Structure 1
Amino acid sequence: MTGLRKSPRRLRIGSERGSASVEVAVIAPALIALLGLMIAFGRVTDADAAVDAAAHAAARAASLERDATGAQARARAAAEDSLHGDGVTCQSTDVVVDTSSYMLDVGQAATVTATISCTARLSDIALPGLPGAKTLTATFTSPIDTYRGRQ
């Protein structure tokens, strides 16, 4: 007579058949979305650090020049070199350099300020609700040698 009854253990195991596939089907999209967010956050963080470094490089390069025109050109080149060296590709890059202090007389404290804006692309991550791009901006000010000749 015991051979005709099914044990409670067998019934329980048989009723859970296929539940692992349902769990994976429910959890997988959430894990993929989390992975996409981590990639986007990492990309934005790296690009933000690179834009900050480019602003430092641009302001420093501009402060070493003797005239405003040379400072503008050198700052743009330094910013582009810095971004390229860090492996950051911007959809658009804007370099603004304030060289108005070059008009001050020698002996007066003067500075050069560089502002870099970079639009980082996020559209290739293909995560719903994620913006297609993010604009990152950094500013840095570097002193000009007080007693060096300026033009």
Structure 2
Amino acid sequence: MAIEAAIGLPAFGLFVAMIILGGRVEIANQAVDAAAFEAARAASIERTQSEAISSGKSAAASSLNDQGLQCTTTNITVNAAAFNAPLGTTGQVTATVTCKVDVADLSIPGLPGTRTITATASSPVDAYRERR
């Protein structure tokens, strides 16, 4: 009985840690995805390229904060080159959010201490809206 417990309990503990890891990574995926979509949308409704980049980065950071995602490092890029297109031309604003999530506290053998999660989203810029 003691041998079964000595083998079974660590295996069960590892199984539980893997379930927690999967849940934590999936929640982080959803949060990063939502942040990328919010950044792209916020950037696409601005009037200038510089305002779009600033607004997109702010929206993504706010979204990650509101969802309570603790990133060890965060990188937010907004491609607002569509604002340079002439009127009547359709363009897309693209936002990419990268977050490193700390998973070292799970103590799973062979697992690195962080997981990098990246999401990209696009939102159209109105082809006939005034741009500055």
TM-score under structure 1 normalisation? 0.84
**Does 2:56 match 1:75?**
yes
Give the counterpart of 2:33 among 40, 52, 73.
Answer: 52
Counterpart amino acid of residue 147 in structure 1: Y
Aligned with 2:95: secondary structure?
A: strand
Aligned residues: 132
**Does 2:110 match 1:129?**
yes
Counterpart in the other structure of 1:96? 77
Counterpart amino acid of residue 72 in structure 1: I
Instruction: Write the distance in 2 (CA, Å) between the matches of 1:147 and 1:26.
Output: 68
Two-structure CA RMSD over aligned residues (Å): 0.9
Counterpart in the other structure of 1:6? none
The more displaced of 79-88 and 52-61 is: 79-88
Aligned with 1:129: secondary structure?
A: coil
Residues 46-89 of structure 1 show CA distances to partners (whole Å, capped at 9, x for unaligned) of 10111111100000000010001111111011101111111111
Aligned with 1:106: secondary structure?
A: coil
Instruction: Write the distance in 1 (CA, Å) between the matches of 2:3 and 2:96.
Output: 52
Instruction: Write the distance in 1 (CA, Å) between the matches of 2:117 and 2:5.
Output: 37
- What is the percent sequence identity of the aligned residues? 41
Give the counterpart of 1:146 among 110, 127, 130.
Answer: 127
Counterpart in the other structure of 1:22? 3
- Structure 1 moving runs of 4+ over 2 Å: none
Deviation, structure 1 residue 146: 1.2
Counterpart in the other structure of 1:43? 24
Deviation, structure 1 residue 22: 2.8
Counterpart amino acid of residue 42 in structure 1: G
Unaligned segments of structure 1, at least 5 residues: 1-18
